[in-house]
Amino acid sequence: MVDNWLLCDFHIHTNNSDGELSLQEVVDLYGRNGFDVIGISDHILDKPRLLMHRYKNEQPHAVEPEQFGDYLRTLWHESRRAWEEYGMLLIPGAEITNNTDGYHILCIDIKEYIEPSQTVEKIVNDIHRQGAIAVAPHPHRGADGNGDALKHLWDNHEKHVHLFDAWEVANRDDLFTAVGLKRFNYIANSDFHHPRHIFSWKSLLRCRKNVEAVKAEIRNNVGVSIYLFREDKAL
């Protein structure tokens, strides 16, 4: 990868929620493609447990509260393998998904279950209490017609801007120019659900390859850039 920059993707779903690949397959795919840092972010859902966007007709499939301990243990286990086999840092995370009021919140370096039915402020507070990072994903998705249910964070961005450590300036193929224009802290992620989604916007971070350095760089948001990762053009 570019010298001294880490190739990162912090928004990845596995078949522990609504992604297609198993965690092991995700690690191998990203490892083979030369990634430095990945954050796994399977959905945890409020009640009633429905995944509204894109999958509204499907059965809900997410990490249930009672499965959360096993979810984390599996991530820790794969994290060790990712490091040993690929030199890739795997950071446990979750997409805290409130479909009643329409907001998703990405947590990077989650350590304990967080109840998604709480207010945005309480969820972000819980994230920060764990020393984790709170990101507003796909903040004003809506142009494609299926994002109206997810507009809550953007509709209230004046109120929420200082709560979050960063906002997604790009999600998969979409660029959210308003995040850049407003000079919010930003990162870019794939919102990976299918293997083809690896070819999409990513974050580059200029920092050492460990969890605390990565979190500090997202918070400082100085050595951050975005990168369109494409087939055959990537490395």
Binding residues for Zn ion, rule: CB under 5 A, are 95, 104, 191
Tell me the residue nearest to Zn ion as measured from the CB: 104
User: Per-residue b/e over 118-128, b at no fewer than 16 CB within 10 Å?
Assistant: bebeebbebbe
Choice between 103 and 113, CB closer to Zn ion: 103
State how far the Cα of 51 lies from the Cα of 62, in Å rounded to an integer.
Answer: 8
CA distances from 162 to 30, 184, 221 (A): 32, 9, 13
- Which phi and psi (to 5°) does residue 32 adopt? -65, -25
Give dist(CA 75, CA 2) in Å, integer.
27
Of residues 104 and 202, the one with the C-beta less far from Zn ion: 104
Rounded to the nearest whole angstrom, what is the least distance from the CB of residue 33 to Zn ion in the complex? 19
Tokens linked to 153: 């964070």
Polymer length in residues for the chain: 235
* CB of 9 or CB of 217, closer to Zn ion: 9
Least separation, in Å, of the C-beta of 164 and Zn ion? 14
- Dihedral sign (CA 120, 125, 130, 136): positive
Q: How far is the CB of 115 from Zn ion (least distance, A)?
A: 17
Nearest distance in Å: CB 232, Zn ion: 26
Q: How far is the CB of 194 from Zn ion (least distance, A)?
A: 12
Query: Buried (b) or exposed (e) across 25-44, using 16+ Cβ within 10 A?
Result: ebbbbbbebebbbbbbbbbb
* Nearest distance, CB of residue 222 and Zn ion, angstroms: 26
* CB of 53 or CB of 207, closer to Zn ion: 53
Closer to Zn ion at the Cβ: 149 or 216? 149
Number of C-beta neighbours around residue 91 at 10 A: 22
Angle (CA) 64 124 141, round 5°: 80
Nearer to Zn ion, 95 or 174 (CB): 95
Measured from the CB atom, is 16 or 207 closer to Zn ion?
Answer: 16
| In the complex, minimum distance from the CB of residue 214 to Zn ion, in angstroms, rounded to a whole number | 19
